[in-house]
């Protein structure tokens, strides 16, 4: 009984539904054995009562003392009642914990659903920003206006981020730090959201630089389209900037010779962003748009 009381008083710590379900199942299995154990307890009490009757009838001294145990017969009902009480309390605690884990599970699923949708929205807008930035069939002014409209649309999505923050705060208040239903966390989503605006502002700035380049050089719309087509030809991964190998291919097409050693590119100290690359192409004596 002492071990049983200790087990029933033992504090449990769980973090998931499967863990609490296993504890509840084990406790129910234990509860199913109580009736049989109670019958044994009654038999022990009857046995002790019979011994007392015999000792009283024959006036035996110390006949009720048992050299094989220190447990007194009158203690058994008290201990048994204590076990019954502890069993009921533990059952109530386990079911309350189950309700808490159900609420936690709901929070996890809610956050996962909102996080997946929010990240999908970020990826969609990122693709749209790159697409608008690299458009060759519209004017630079139209591109800038489209990017500004995208920024307005993104600002309207701030409420979605606030909803995620609210759910994430509820998770933290419930001490929930793991979510098996999503790979996204609030810090990663915040960073992705900030990077999206950084990309947007960077793209707008690049468009402004292209407008300045166009106006300062007096380029026509057709020439601008040719330049953008050329740049897009070398920008294989559609990032809006030329990687070292891409920029090298661009320079080679202009007649520059390089060794395979990539360090030669670093000596040029030319930022291969689209606006500045155009400036370089336009100022190059070997620049022939038709051969790009």
Residue that terminates a domain, selected from 104, 136, 153: 104
At 184 the pLDDT is 95
User: Residues with Cβ < 8 Å from 200, sequence gap 6 or more?
Assistant: 129, 147, 150, 151, 154
Helix (H, G, I), strand (E, B) or coil at 273: strand
| Structure confidence at residue 52 (pLDDT) | 79
Q: What is the CATH number of the domain that holds 13?
A: 1.20.58.60
Return the pLDDT at 278. Answer: 46
Considering its fold, how many domains does the chain have in total? 2
In a domain, 57, yes or no: yes
The whole-number pLDDT of residue 60 equals: 76
CATH at 257: 1.10.238.10
The verdict on residue 186 lying in a domain is no
138's CB contacts (< 8 A; 6+ apart) are 146
Please report the pLDDT score of residue 47 as a whole number.
85
Looking at residue 259, its pLDDT comes to: 62
pLDDT of residue 188: 95
CA distance 116 to 134: 27
Say how far apart CA 103 and CA 170 lie, in whole Å.
Answer: 11
* Domain final position from 59, 87, 104: 104
Amino acid 105: pLDDT: 94
Assigned domain for 272 exists: yes
- Residue 270 is predicted with a pLDDT of 44
CA–CA dist 289, 292 (Å, integer)? 6
Q: Which domain holds residue 5?
A: 1-104
Q: pLDDT at position 177, please?
A: 87
Within-domain flag for 213: no
- pTM of this prediction? 0.66
Q: Is residue 117 part of a domain?
A: no
pLDDT at residue 109, rounded to an integer: 95
Q: Is residue 210 part of a domain?
A: no
Single out the residue in 104, 129, 149 at which a domain terminates.
104
Count the helix, strand and coil residues of the chain and give each as a percent rounded to the nearest 5.
75, 0, 25
Spans of the chain, pLDDT less than 70: 1, 63, 136, 240, 258-292
């Amino acid at each position: 009984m002492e071990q049983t009381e200790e087990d029933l008083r033992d504090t449990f710590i769980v973090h998931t539904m499967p863990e609490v379900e296993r504890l509840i199942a084990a406790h129910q299995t234990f509860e199913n054995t109580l009736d049989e154990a109670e019958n044994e307890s009654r038999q022990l009490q009857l046995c002790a009562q019979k011994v007392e009757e015999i000792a009283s009838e024959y006036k035996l001294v110390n006949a009720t003392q048992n050299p094989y145990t220190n447990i007194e017969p009158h203690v058994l009902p008290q201990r048994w009642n204590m076990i019954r009480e502890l069993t009921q309390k533990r059952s109530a605690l386990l079911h309350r914990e189950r309700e808490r884990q159900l609420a936690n599970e709901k929070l996890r699923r809610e956050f996962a659903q909102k996080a997946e949708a929010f990240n999908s929205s970020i990826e969609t807008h990122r693709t749209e920003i790159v697409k608008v930035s690299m458009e060759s069939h519209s004017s630079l002014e139209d591109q800038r206006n489209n990017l500004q409209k995208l920024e307005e649309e993104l600002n309207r999505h701030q409420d979605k981020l606030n909803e995620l923050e609210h759910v994430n705060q509820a998770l933290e208040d419930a001490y929930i730090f793991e979510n098996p239903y999503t790979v996204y966390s609030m810090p990663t989503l915040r960073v992705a959201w900030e990077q999206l605006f950084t990309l947007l502002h960077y793209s707008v700035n690049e468009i402004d630089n292209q407008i300045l380049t166009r106006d300062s050089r007096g380029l026509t719309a057709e020439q601008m389209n040719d330049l953008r087509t050329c740049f897009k030809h070398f920008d294989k991964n559609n990032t809006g900037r030329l990687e070292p190998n891409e920029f090298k291919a661009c320079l080679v097409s202009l007649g520059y010779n390089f060794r395979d050693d990539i360090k030669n590119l670093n000596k040029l100290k030319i930022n291969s962003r689209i606006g500045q690359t155009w400036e370089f192409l336009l100022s190059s004596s070997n620049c022939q748009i038709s051969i790009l």
